[in-house]
Amino acid sequence: MKHLGTGIGWRPEIAAAVEGMPGIDWVEAVAENVCPGHLPESLVRLRERGVTVVPHGVSLGLGGADRPDEGKLADLAAAVEALGSPLVTEHIAFVRAGGALTASPLLEAGHLLPVPRTRDALDVLCENIRIAQDALPVPLAVENIAALISWPGEEMTEGQFLYDLADRTGVRLLIDVANLHTNHVNRGEDPAKALDELPVEAIAYVHVAGGFERDGVWHDSHAHAVPPAVLAILSDLSSRVRPPGVLLERDENFPAPTELARELTAIRETVEKASISVLPEASDLVVTAPVAAGALASDPVVPEVSEAPEPTEVPDEAAASAAASPAAERASGDALKASPSTDPARQRLALAQAALLSALVAGTPVPEGFDGTRLLVQARALAGKRADVVAKVAPELPEILAEAYRKAFVAYAHSHPMTGGYRRDALDFAEHLLLGGRLEDPDVRRRVSNWWLERSGPAPLSQHPAARLARATRRVLLRR
């Protein structure tokens, strides 16, 4: 695995600051925001300077009951090729539920939701990851996520779940230490125990981010400074193995570039100080006797570690093939598609995830075993996240509605689950306001109506008689 160094999440809002910041070895870009044929000029300039760019996917839903969508995998592969990336990352999460497996409407969460740590979920996740590995041109690493809620009846700890996942698939791990802190506050899980159980030799890189606590719940906001507790977990991890890369995530509420630089310095110094007497970094380790899941660092059995030989230069395809694990190679794509072994597990997982997501976004009863109060907190967080993202993809709506935007959208979200992407969500929200007679101000109604009409049809507007009739009909309905 490539040595990455210290990096930062690239976002358009801080693109200029990132370009001018000293000591940036690499950046991470949200894969869904990368158009291979039209890369942002800032990313192009960074690549020309030799800065590594890693695409980070958020919508694949590898932890969902369905097999990964071929189109989304193709898009992810295209982003990798366009950026010349040495690896690609995604999340251990589900982001949608329902559909054919449950004979119910497909629901989108608009957020990363936790996978139950059960044998069923692990079997499905392993197969989904192998399918993704076959479709992607470079190694895949997957990230542990933060959670507000816990699944009832879980059979493994997070460390055991990740150990088995890496052991069965050869997938690399993206360890988010901020998410370990979140799960410590919200779920009572010990970060040190999770690190004890992790296969540290599988770490591709580490995420660091900030958040805030409200009413005893930690929100992984990526909009606040990194707290000392998160740096302490980073230090603990770095004392066990030097991570190949560490990256600061910041998604909004961006501070001055000097503050970002200060946080990067603190991260760099934390790793350096903790790694003084540690073994070589994870990418240089060859583990010949893995520690059993759940074994503690104080146990007498330890992994036998040797330095790997310096790799020779090989073409990209060969390098990707060499990086693939024997377990992943043994599971060919054709064999996986032909195997029905995970179908019963998929069915059970689909029903459980659909029931949970429906409770969160459609107001159905809380599934048995869940904490209803925590589900309410999660539901409010999902609605708020939808409002924030729609405001970014359709900035005209909060501009037109002003202070009424957020309240109106959150009320809409609680009774209207998202069934498509965020742009579709913005259109549906505007249509809801217009057809429901919720806009009393004539000027606001006119502006929202014009916005909706401009974006709800083909572009440019078709002059075909049928299309013109449809537009006229919509105008009549909106006037009513």
Mean pLDDT of 296-304: 37
DSSP H helices, 416-479, are: 422-435, 442-456, 465-479
Number of residues that this document lists for the chain: 480
pLDDT (0 to 100) of residue 462: 60
pLDDT (0 to 100) of residue 338: 42
Helices then strands, counting H and E runs in the chain, come out as 19, 14
> Does 286 score more than 50 pLDDT?
no
> Does 89 score more than 60 pLDDT?
yes
Range with lowest mean pLDDT among 77-91, 217-231, 288-302, 463-477: 288-302
Unique residue bearing structure tokens 């969500």: 425
> Does 279 score more than 80 pLDDT?
no
Residues 231, 273: Cα–Cα separation, whole Å = 12
Residue 367 and residue 209 in contact, taking contact as beta carbons nearer than 8 Å = no
Report the percentage of the chain scoring pLDDT > 70: 83
Mean pLDDT of 177-190: 95
Range with lowest mean pLDDT among 9-23, 95-109, 350-364, 466-480: 466-480
Average pLDDT of the chain to the nearest whole number: 86
Residues 160, 199: Cα–Cα separation, whole Å = 9
Residues 282, 285: Cα–Cα separation, whole Å = 5
Helix axes 442-456, 465-479, angle to 10 degrees: 160
Q: What is the pLDDT of residues 14-65, one digit of tens each?
A: 999 999 999 999 999 999 999 998 999 999 999 999 999 999 999 999 999 9
> Does 108 score more than 50 pLDDT?
yes
> Does 466 score more than 90 pLDDT?
no
Residues 315, 20: Cα–Cα separation, whole Å = 32
Q: What is the pLDDT of residues 334-381, one digit of tens each?
A: 444 444 578 999 999 999 999 999 999 999 999 999 999 999 999 999
- Dihedral sign from CA coordinates of 123, 138, 110, 370: positive
Q: Count of alpha carbons within 13 Å of 380, Cβ hemisphere only?
A: 9
Regarding predicted confidence, which is higher, 297 or 478?
478
Report the percentage of the chain scoring pLDDT > 90: 74
DSSP H helices, 98-157, are: 119-135
Q: What is the pLDDT of residues 400-452, one digit of tens each?
A: 999 999 999 999 998 899 988 899 999 999 999 999 888 999 999 999 999 99
Where does residue 474 rank: exposed (0-12), middle (13-18), buried (19+ CB within 10 A)?
middle
Confidence label for 473 from pLDDT (cuts 50, 70 and 90): confident
- Dihedral sign from CA coordinates of 102, 417, 116, 342: positive
